[in-house]
């Protein structure tokens, strides 16, 4: 009896895994598209803009503009 119920559970679980794998595949594609289309471009602009802002502030208050100062 225990073997029969284990087989039934096994078959039910395999059916559930098939359904979940389809849902999982869909979720993975949606996650991949979100990361590549939305998240990475936003992070790229934020990092480049942040770096530019830091360089600009350093030139304004610490190092001054690049180039020769008072030279020929």
Tell me what pLDDT residue 57 has: 95
The CA distance from 34 to 17, in Å, is 25
Condensed to tens digits (0 to 9), the pLDDT of residues 6-64 reads 555 555 656 656 657 889 999 999 999 999 999 999 999 999 999 999 999 999 999 88
- What sign for the dihedral angle of Cα 54, 55, 56, 57? positive
Q: What is the DSSP secondary-structure string of 4-50?
A: HHHHHHHHHHHHHHHHHHHHHHHHHHHHHHHIIIIIHHHHHHHHHHH
Look up the pTM and report it.
Answer: 0.60
């Amino acid at each position: 009896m225990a073997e029969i119920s284990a087989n039934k559970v096994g078959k039910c679980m395999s059916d559930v895994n098939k359904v979940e794998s389809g849902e999982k595949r869909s979720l993975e594609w949606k996650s991949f598209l979100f990361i590549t289309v939305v998240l990475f471009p936003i992070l790229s602009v934020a990092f480049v803009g942040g770096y530019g802002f830091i360089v600009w502030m350093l030139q304004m208050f610490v190092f001054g503009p690049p180039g020769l100062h008072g030279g020929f």
